[in-house]
Amino acid sequence: MLNKQTGKWPTVQSSEQLVKTAQKLRQQIKGLDIAIRQLVLYKPCEWGETVDTASMDWVLKELQSRKLELEKESFQVRAKIQLENLSAEMPLF
């Protein structure tokens, strides 16, 4: 995975590790999608509950922000996998 401190990729990382990382990121994104959907569909008044809407909005924005971060990281991992696949297919001159 991308090193948060340096912003760089580790120098040695196999394609298998990258594929596993991409799968893990997709699972996390899917989980956040479910959490966001449940939060949006939640109707506290139907259960006789009161909810601080500002807090609900904050949680929703935090979930959406984290999802965007994961999507960005997932895109970077998929791009790295594609680059490795292309370089493996390129003939040496």
Residue 30, CB-side half-sphere exposure with 13 Å CA sphere: 6
| Domain residue limits, the chain | 25-85
Contact 39, 73 (CB under 8 A): no
Report pLDDT for 40: 86
Report the SS3 class of residue 82: helix
Give 73-90 pLDDT, tens digit per residue. 999 999 998 888 787 776
Q: Look at the block and give the residue holding tokens 């596993």.
A: 20
pTM of the model: 0.71
Report pLDDT for 78: 92
Give 1-58 pLDDT, tens digit per residue. 556 666 655 554 577 888 999 999 999 999 999 999 998 888 777 777 888 888 889 9
The secondary structure of residue 84, as a DSSP letter, is H
Q: How far apart are CA 8 and CA 70, in angstroms?
A: 16
Q: How far apart are CA 32 and CA 70, in angstroms?
A: 10
